[in-house]
Amino acid sequence: MKKGEVVVIGAGFAGFSAAICLANKGFNVKILEKNPTIGGRARQFTDSGFTFDMGPSWYWMPDVFESFFNQFGKTTADYYELIRLDPSYQVIHGKNDYMPIPANMHELERLFDSIELGAGEQLRKFLKIAEYKYEVGINKFVYKPSRSILEFANPKLAVDAVRLQIFQSMAKHVRKFFKNDRLIQLMEFPVLFLGALPENTPAMYSLMNYADMALGTWYPKGGMFKIIEALESLAKEKGVEILTDHEVTSINYSGKRATSVSTNHGDFKSDVVVAGADYHHVDSMLLDSETRNYDETYWDKRVMAPSSLLYYVGVNKKLEGLLHHNLFFDTDFAPHAHNIYTDPKWPEKPLFYVSAPSKTDNTVAPKGCENIFMLIPVAPGLDDTEDIRAHYFDLMLERMKDRMGLDFKENIVFKRSFAHKDFVNDYNAFKGNAYGLANTLNQTAILKPQLANKKLNNLFYTGQLTVPGPGVPPSLISGQVVAKEIIKDFG
């Protein structure tokens, strides 16, 4: 029996996750997506023979994906082929100065020992603690809806919380184990995905190091969009209806219940609404002032994760020396970080990231060519012009030429950029953010924007601006968490 009509706004990871879980429990689910293609930030496009993932490019925490599909009697292998990358990635420190990060743990320990005496043993100790955090954090905390402090009113959870080191900073924790600047930088790098500086990120998130170094860096052949295709396939199998080019313009209500959503193609009645679109946009633009969770003052005080300046580049030759993932840590991060978090402006000497999936996958570029994804993390809310985009593109090309001897400007046969204006236009992203809300201590668990609307008892939020936070695995978890709450309340 169908239990009611559910409208899910947004066909990204969180929206699909919630839709599948609800449809599996008998709800009649429709997904309304404003763009012509599904995937949200994980969309994909093809041009000139190249296939580009538009957003996420790192496949970490494979157990989260496996666990999701296992609920429905499936495995990831039913949908896509996973390849473990080895080296996992490389760090470029300067001219002809590269540090590949081996996937094998013994090789990784030897690398650490070669940089700092005894660091291999310290890495083992560090990752042992991180493993505990990963197991407890994922199994006991991340899947909690964080609707009440009482969820955590358990003596065992209190002990776990202390052992998770939620009141100690990641920066302080790392420096207890390592002294070398390069190793410190390497251990702090994963938390940058969480949208805050290591000194403002709880040490609990060393669990990201465990995900990185123990669980490994993977790649789904064909690109990250293969995960979206898998979710689409499973959703349709469960009876979910997916409507693209359906932009939601308002959420309508009567009393304390959302009754329908209006789109550019008409209205859709709903017993439950799940907003997988940008939380701020839903709250401030799709609801009236009487039914919003938060006002603009609240949102202006939120610490946002960075936005990104992105380039999708097709090159008509192979580029020797690049790996699938390449981190250019070839200049001091402090000034760049200052321009993201303290004094928001375009950085003078940014660190940046280059992905070359064609190094692993010959299906994403024509033969003899290279598929390049380039990213600079930048502050949200900046003015974004074509001149600025051109400047930073040339800057990255010059740094790649100087550090790695890669000279390919004349070999570029396709280029497209994406930045703040595009994040706003395509995703209604608050301040043009790319990753969501920063995972600072003051924005953790119950201190995040709530997943349930306080005025309408059948409106829920999911995605990177609510629990558990930014990233692909957390978004997949977010959909499951909100679905569980809906099933509890309405199932």
CB 138 within 8 A of CB 66: no
pLDDT at 434 over 60: yes
Residue 353: the pLDDT is 98
Q: Are strands 97-101 and 89-94 parallel, antiparallel or unpaired?
A: antiparallel
pLDDT band at 194; cut points 50, 70, 90: confident
CB 286 within 8 A of CB 251: yes
Question: How many residues does this entry show for the chain?
Answer: 491
Residue 66 φ/ψ, nearest 5 degrees = -65, -45
Of 88, 487, 48, 44, nearest in space to 272 by CA: 487
CB 199 within 8 A of CB 132: no
d(CA 221, CA 322): 18
Beta bridge partners of 251: 261
CB 480 within 8 A of CB 279: no
d(CA 431, CA 300): 10
What is the average pLDDT across 257-272?
Answer: 98
What percent of the chain lies above the pLDDT cut of 70?
99
pLDDT band at 1; cut points 50, 70, 90: very low
What is the average pLDDT across 484-491?
Answer: 94
Q: Are strands 5-9 and 28-32 parallel, antiparallel or unpaired?
A: parallel
Residue with tokens 């692909």: 472
Q: Which of 158-162, 223-227, 473-477 is least confident?
A: 158-162
pLDDT at 369 over 70: yes
* Burial of 386 per CB tally in 10 Å (0-12, 13-18, 19+): exposed
pLDDT at 427 over 60: yes
Q: What is the 3-state secondary structure (H, E, C) of the chain?
A: CCCCEEEEECCCHHHHHHHHHHHHCCCEEEEECCCCCCCHHHCEEEECCEEEECCCCCECCHHHHHHHHHCCCCCHHHCCCEEECCCCEEEEEECCEEEEECCCHHHHHHHHHHHCCCHHHHHHHHHHHHHHHHHHHHHHHHCCCCCCHHHHCCHHHHHHHHHCCCCCEHHHHHHCCCCCHHHHHHHHHHHHHHCCCHHHCEHHHHHHHHHHHHHCCEEECCCCHHHHHHHHHHHHHCCCEEECCCCEEEEEEECCEEEEEEECCEEEECCEEEECCCHHHHHHHHCCCCCCCCCHHHHHCCCECCEEEEEEEEECCCCCCCCCEEEECCCCHHHHHHHHHHCCCCCCCCCEEEECHHHCCCCCCCCCCEEEEEEEEECCCCCCCHHHHHHHHHHHHHHHHHHHCCCCHHHEEEEEEECHHHHHHHHCCHHHCCCCECCCHHHCHHHCCCCECCCCCCEEECCCCCCCCCCHHHHHHHHHHHHHHHHHHHC
Of 360, 369, 368, 472, nearest in space to 89 by CA: 360
d(CA 383, CA 14): 29
pLDDT digits (tens, 9 = 90+) for 106-121: 999 999 999 999 999 9
**CA count, 13 A, side-chain hemisphere, 203:** 20
pLDDT band at 139; cut points 50, 70, 90: confident
Q: Please give the model's pTM, rounded to 2 decimal places.
A: 0.97
What is the average pLDDT across 73-87?
Answer: 98
CB 135 within 8 A of CB 143: no
Residue 2: the pLDDT is 62
pLDDT digits (tens, 9 = 90+) for 377-426: 999 999 999 999 999 999 999 999 999 999 999 999 999 999 999 999 99
Question: pLDDT averaged over the chain?
Answer: 96
If one counts every other C-beta atom within 10 angstroms of the C-beta of residue 78, the result is 12
**Amino acid making up residue 395:** L
d(CA 179, CA 313): 38
Please give the C-alpha separations between residue 415 and each of 378, 385, 434, in angstroms, as whole numbers: 20, 16, 20
Residue 154: the pLDDT is 78
What is the average pLDDT across 31-59?
Answer: 98
Q: Are strands 325-328 and 352-355 parallel, antiparallel or unpaired?
A: antiparallel
Sequence-ordered list of residues with C-beta below 8 angstroms from that of 77, at least 6 positions apart, any chain: none
> In this structure, what token pair is assigned to residue 437?
């809300």
Residue 149: the pLDDT is 82
pLDDT at 153 over 80: no
